[in-house]
Chain A
């Protein structure tokens, strides 16, 4: 499995966990285009934090990748951030801490 797939699967597994606490209409779709941060995201800031921490923990355990999504998103200038964008960033920037 490629690194991109591993990163995306960490997101999608975390989506499964998060969806159990979200009402059905706000469920996150297991699609790389799903927006996790920004105006069209279904997540409020607390849910986003919980998602990012769940993904961080999975990446650390599964591929020993340490990355702070929380800081990355806080510092991002993009109006909306998708799974694809985050995976792309990680693939291109390797294990660098944000």
Chain B
């Protein structure tokens, strides 16, 4: 993600300055610049696309409204006992349309669902009766979900959860009467954390790996001392049930593409046997992408896991019940998230659910199959150690690349790669889905995607080349390859793709202008060894079309028209 702060609009019909302050000042990433709507103008701003508020550009928007600003139904139901469902649906529908329109301006719109402040109505058993306040609010929220759920980039935040997790009362009538502030600062803090976490996910910066301890972390007890059969895991035991629930939470995360790994001080054979054979284990051995189970220093083991999975510390979370181990790992890897972990095991599932770093509003096929891909990678490496030369090894993999132009079905994955790939990235151009589609639809611009598979499995969509025809040159605007397939000669295959496109363009030359960042030196080194001519003065590489740029013999390249 670009280090430039993201710009966010907060459009609220009540005083949301506290939310703005949290969004701006909470130290967690991403850095945000926030502008809030002037007091009392939220609906005008939403409805009027020419409003002066829109003179500035925003990346994201939060829209916080009260039910009374959307509909009179609530007041009418309370005062006159009138309730018309059709009118309510129409009014919520009209509001939803303004959100959908707003979505066209920004990458994502976040809408906290409507709630009634606890001080506002006397809670009665009639609240959920037809026409009662809770009935109406529930219906409004359902109508809103129905309208905006199909729209990618419109997300409803669960205000109920934010309220529940507030450290003090979520509402205070004094805040409302003095400052027209609907929530307490604690609820606004939760909202800011949720929005920031969602933005990280959208920008492809959510955490991808959880490294777990075993004893008293994944199960209760010490497997080496107590034996697998005496572990507290499941059964008629509140602590055992909590560990099962914790594992269920981890499994849910794994199913959204988060990798799980183990770093434990134990005898490996005993620990693995417990994982494989304990009847209450929710997580099976094949659901862990990597493990280091031995008596070595934890930080060294964590380092080995990161290397094994080819991930940086900024992608990982370390969960361990021991504060000493946590401190050791945090000191060694400052970028790793090492959450304080509760002493009470029954709070583990909640502590996991409160980690706001895995949010991924859009899941791609690559996210869903990440653990399987990592296991395939291990099998490849085993083969590598048993085969003679690097070329022989690559040849034995049976690598196939499928080239396809950018289209709506691959757009999400392409945007994800665009915004998170650092190492093999020629220009590190970051674009939203809309910006990329707009660019690719211009005459003489093309974006090609490369899916890579071999005999062990599918790496998924891992490469992108974006090219422009400029006069008699083909300019490589984007050259992006996931680190998963670096060094498999897919790099050369991608240059062959550019070569073929350049011939179609009728170009005479291919140009690649390297834009240096702190992380993309591998891309520079690849181009230096690619056969392209380097102009050292401006780190520009070129290839004369008169000479063919061949596809590597180890790769079968197929074009999908």
Using a CB–CB distance below 8 Å, which chain A residues touch chain B? Answer: 17-18, 20-23, 46-47, 49-50, 53-54, 57-58, 70
Q: From known contacts A46-B17, A54-B168, infer whether A17 and B179 are also in contact, taking CB-CB under 8 Å.
A: no
B26 adjacent to A21 (CB under 8 Å): yes
> In the assembled complex, how far is the CB of residue B183 from the closest CB belonging to chain A, in whole angstroms?
11
B21 adjacent to A57 (CB under 8 Å): no
Complex CA–CA separation, A21 to B181 (angstroms): 15
Chain A residues near B26 (CB-CB < 8 A)? 20-21
Using a CB–CB distance below 8 Å, which chain B residues touch chain A? Answer: 15, 17-18, 21-22, 24-26, 167-169, 172, 174-175, 178-179, 181, 184-186, 188-189
B25 adjacent to A49 (CB under 8 Å): no
B178 adjacent to A49 (CB under 8 Å): yes
Chain A residues near B185 (CB-CB < 8 A)? 17-18, 21, 50, 54
Complex CA–CA separation, A47 to B188 (angstroms): 13
Q: From known contacts A20-B25, A20-B26, A53-B175, infer whether A46 and B186 are also in contact, taking CB-CB under 8 Å.
A: no
> In the assembled complex, how far is the CB of residue A34 from the closest CB belonging to chain B, in whole angstroms?
18
B189 adjacent to A20 (CB under 8 Å): yes
A53 adjacent to B184 (CB under 8 Å): yes
The 30 listed contacts between A and B (C-beta, < 8 Å) are: A17-B185, A17-B189, A18-B185, A20-B22, A20-B189, A21-B21, A21-B22, A21-B26, A21-B188, A22-B21, A22-B25, A23-B24, A23-B25, A46-B15, A46-B179, A46-B181, A49-B174, A49-B175, A49-B178, A49-B179, A50-B175, A50-B181, A50-B184, A53-B172, A53-B175, A54-B185, A57-B168, A57-B172, A58-B168, A70-B174
Chain A residues near B15 (CB-CB < 8 A)? 46
Interface of A is mostly: helix
Chain B residues near A18 (CB-CB < 8 A)? 185
A70 adjacent to B189 (CB under 8 Å): no
> In the assembled complex, how far is the CB of residue B188 from the closest CB belonging to chain A, in whole angstroms?
8
Closest partner residue, chain A, to B167 (CB atom): A17
> In the assembled complex, how far is the CB of residue A48 from the closest CB belonging to chain B, in whole angstroms?
10
A46 adjacent to B18 (CB under 8 Å): yes
Chain B residues near A58 (CB-CB < 8 A)? 168
Chain B residues near A57 (CB-CB < 8 A)? 168-169, 172
Pick the contact of A21: B25, B175, B179 (CB < 8 A): B25
Complex CA–CA separation, A58 to B168 (angstroms): 9
Chain B residues near A47 (CB-CB < 8 A)? 21
Complex CA–CA separation, A18 to B25 (angstroms): 11
Complex CA–CA separation, A46 to B18 (angstroms): 8
> In the assembled complex, how far is the CB of residue A73 from the closest CB belonging to chain B, in whole angstroms?
12
Closest partner residue, chain B, to A74 (CB atom): B178
Closest 9 CB pairs of A and B: A21-B21, A21-B22, A50-B185, A57-B168, A21-B25, A53-B172, A46-B17, A49-B179, A23-B25
Chain B residues near A53 (CB-CB < 8 A)? 172, 174-175, 184
Chain A residues near B186 (CB-CB < 8 A)? 17
B18 adjacent to A21 (CB under 8 Å): yes
Chain A residues near B178 (CB-CB < 8 A)? 49, 70
> In the assembled complex, how far is the CB of residue A19 from the closest CB belonging to chain B, in whole angstroms?
9
Closest partner residue, chain B, to A21 (CB atom): B21
Chain B residues near A50 (CB-CB < 8 A)? 18, 175, 181, 184-185
A21 adjacent to B189 (CB under 8 Å): yes
Complex CA–CA separation, A49 to B22 (angstroms): 16
Closest partner residue, chain B, to A20 (CB atom): B26
Chain B residues near A46 (CB-CB < 8 A)? 15, 17-18, 179, 181
In this complex, which of A18, A53, A54, A58 has the most chain B Cβ atoms within 10 angstroms of its Cβ? A53
Closest partner residue, chain A, to B26 (CB atom): A20
Complex CA–CA separation, A50 to B26 (angstroms): 17
Closest partner residue, chain A, to B192 (CB atom): A21
> In the assembled complex, how far is the CB of residue B168 from the closest CB belonging to chain A, in whole angstroms?
5
Complex CA–CA separation, A54 to B170 (angstroms): 11
Closest partner residue, chain B, to A23 (CB atom): B25
> In the assembled complex, how far is the CB of residue B27 from the closest CB belonging to chain A, in whole angstroms?
8
In this complex, which of A17, A21, A57, A58 has the most chain B Cβ atoms within 10 angstroms of its Cβ? A21
Closest partner residue, chain A, to B15 (CB atom): A46
Complex CA–CA separation, A47 to B25 (angstroms): 14
> In the assembled complex, how far is the CB of residue B93 from the closest CB belonging to chain A, in whole angstroms?
34
> In the assembled complex, how far is the CB of residue A50 from the closest CB belonging to chain B, in whole angstroms?
5
Chain B residues near A70 (CB-CB < 8 A)? 174, 178
Chain A residues near B167 (CB-CB < 8 A)? 17
> In the assembled complex, how far is the CB of residue B483 from the closest CB belonging to chain A, in whole angstroms?
35
- Apart from A49-B179, A53-B184: 11 A-B pairs, beta carbons within 8 A: A17-B185, A17-B186, A20-B189, A21-B189, A22-B25, A46-B15, A46-B18, A49-B175, A57-B168, A57-B172, A70-B178
Closest partner residue, chain A, to B19 (CB atom): A21
